[in-house]
């Protein structure tokens, strides 16, 4: 029992140890400001820009895909401007102004009413696409198609008539044809107008909060300007996102093949099988003689037995050769190569 009781000396040594610990704690706190320099060093570094994320407008189309769409439609705008100038016999400038992504409701409420609102079917893409032509430029184009357009034009706000719709169909057909040519390097698409509306707010092709890609063009005809909007819902191009982000179809410079790629292709081609055909001779006979041929009959030709035989590789004449035998089997010996003309 006495072994469990501390002596007076042991009690005093424990108390002194506790006092020393207490006395060291404030000193440690006073020495603590040394690490405080770290926040100052961190503060000296430039802070990264933080962009707020809006859940109402999610950016579902990647930046690389947006750049691909911009490059594709920049070339399209030049071609469409040239084709439209030829149709109207007047200088028309078409310029790509923006490629943005926004919600479908924002796109619809930004359009004028009435307008020329075309619903498009684009196989094999899913859903519908939209082509909207602003009336401020559409009516001057109609006047040019009807032989006018030289006098000042007053802005008209009304739906298109049946005759005007037929004239506008020529413009939309030209637009879609040039658009098909621009997209054929990415994906062959067949565009077709399925319906034309005057009130954009009456058409609901996707939910209001669905993301769409809006490609806007500014069309200039003389002193008149107007907008053409091409709207692509995200669900239509979701499956082909990888093709839009590839830059191989827009690169104007072809890269030279590396030695490794040449060696790899050569190695694969060495084992490929090709068809080899040797032409012995050519002649013509009548159908009566052909039907009367029997075993042992001889067909004469005008080819000299001492002349070289032509050797075709995959249907292309490549060599001259001589007939012979090798190890008891019929064979040919290559004499020279045929130079392609």
**Integer angstrom CA distances of residue 215 from 63, 97, 100, 148, 228:** 15, 8, 7, 30, 8
Domain that holds residue 323: 274-290+304-341
The reply to whether 238 and 279 lie within a common domain is no
The reply to whether 237 and 115 lie within a common domain is yes
Cis peptide before 312 (omega within 30 of 0): no
Q: pTM of the prediction? A: 0.57
Instruction: Tell me whether residue 233 is in a domain.
Output: yes
- Nearest-5° Cα angle at 25, 20 to 29: 155
The reply to whether 165 and 285 lie within a common domain is no
pLDDT value at position 216?
94
The reply to whether 114 and 219 lie within a common domain is yes
Instruction: Tell me whether residue 185 is in a domain.
Output: yes
| CATH number, position 121 | 3.40.1550.10
The residues near 314 (Cβ < 8 Å, ≥ 6 apart) are 274, 275
Between CA 58 and CA 212 the distance in angstroms is 11
The reply to whether 216 and 314 lie within a common domain is no
* The total number of structural domains that make up the chain: 2
The residues near 60 (Cβ < 8 Å, ≥ 6 apart) are 101, 211, 234
- Which conformational region is residue 30 in: left (phi greater than 0), alpha (psi within -120 to 50 degrees), or beta? alpha
The reply to whether 73 and 148 lie within a common domain is yes
Instruction: Tell me whether residue 97 is in a domain.
Output: yes
**Integer angstrom CA distances of residue 171 from 18, 87, 143, 269:** 94, 9, 13, 49
Instruction: Tell me whether residue 87 is in a domain.
Output: yes
Instruction: Tell me whether residue 231 is in a domain.
Output: yes
The reply to whether 98 and 199 lie within a common domain is yes
Instruction: Tell me whether residue 194 is in a domain.
Output: yes
Instruction: Tell me whether residue 41 is in a domain.
Output: no
Residuewise pLDDT in 10s, the chain (341 residues): 445 566 777 777 777 777 666 555 554 444 445 454 444 554 555 556 665 655 555 567 788 888 888 999 999 999 999 999 998 888 889 999 999 999 999 999 999 888 899 999 999 898 899 999 998 888 888 888 888 766 666 677 888 889 889 999 999 999 999 999 999 888 899 999 999 998 998 888 889 899 999 999 999 988 888 999 999 999 888 888 778 865 545 544 456 677 888 888 888 888 888 888 888 888 888 898 888 889 988 888 888 878 888 888 888 888 888 888 888 888 888 888 887 66
What is the CB neighbour count within 10 angstroms for residue 117?
24
């Amino acid at each position: 029992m006495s072994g469990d009781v501390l002596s007076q000396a042991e009690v005093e040594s424990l108390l002194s140890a506790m006092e020393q610990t207490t006395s060291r704690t404030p000193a440690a706190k006073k020495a603590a400001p040394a690490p405080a320099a770290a926040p100052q060093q961190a503060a000296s570094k430039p802070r990264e820009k933080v962009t707020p994320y809006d859940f109402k407008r999610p950016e579902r189309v990647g930046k690389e895909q947006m750049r691909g769409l911009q490059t594709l439609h920049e070339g399209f705008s030049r071609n469409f401007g040239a084709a439209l100038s030829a149709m109207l016999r007047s200088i028309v400038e078409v310029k790509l102004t923006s490629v943005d992504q926004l919600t479908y409701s924002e796109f619809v409420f930004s359009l004028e009413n009435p307008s020329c609102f075309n619903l498009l079917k684009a196989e094999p893409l899913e859903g519908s696409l939209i082509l909207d032509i602003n009336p401020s430029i559409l009516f001057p184009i109609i006047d040019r198609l009807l032989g006018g357009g030289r006098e000042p034009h007053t802005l008209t706000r009304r739906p298109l008539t049946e005759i005007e719709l037929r004239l506008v169909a020529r413009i939309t057909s030209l637009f879609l044809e040039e658009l098909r040519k621009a997209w054929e390097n990415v994906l062959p698409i067949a565009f077709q107008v399925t319906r034309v509306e005057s009130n954009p707010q009456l058409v609901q092709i996707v939910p209001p909060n669905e993301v769409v890609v809006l490609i806007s063009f500014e069309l200039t005809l003389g002193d008149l300007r107007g907008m053409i909007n091409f709207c692509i819902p995200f669900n239509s191009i979701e499956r082909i996102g990888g093709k839009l982000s590839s830059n191989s179809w827009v690169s104007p410079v072809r890269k030279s093949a590396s030695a490794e790629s040449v060696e790899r292709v050569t190695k694969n081609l060495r084992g490929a099988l090709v068809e080899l055909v040797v032409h012995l001779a050519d002649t013509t006979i009548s159908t009566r003689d052909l039907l009367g041929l029997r075993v042992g009959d001889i067909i004469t030709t005008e080819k000299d037995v001492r002349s070289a035989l032509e050797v075709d590789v995959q249907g292309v004449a490549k060599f001259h050769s001589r007939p012979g035998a090798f190890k008891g089997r019929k064979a040919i010996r290559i004499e020279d190569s045929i130079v392609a003309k």
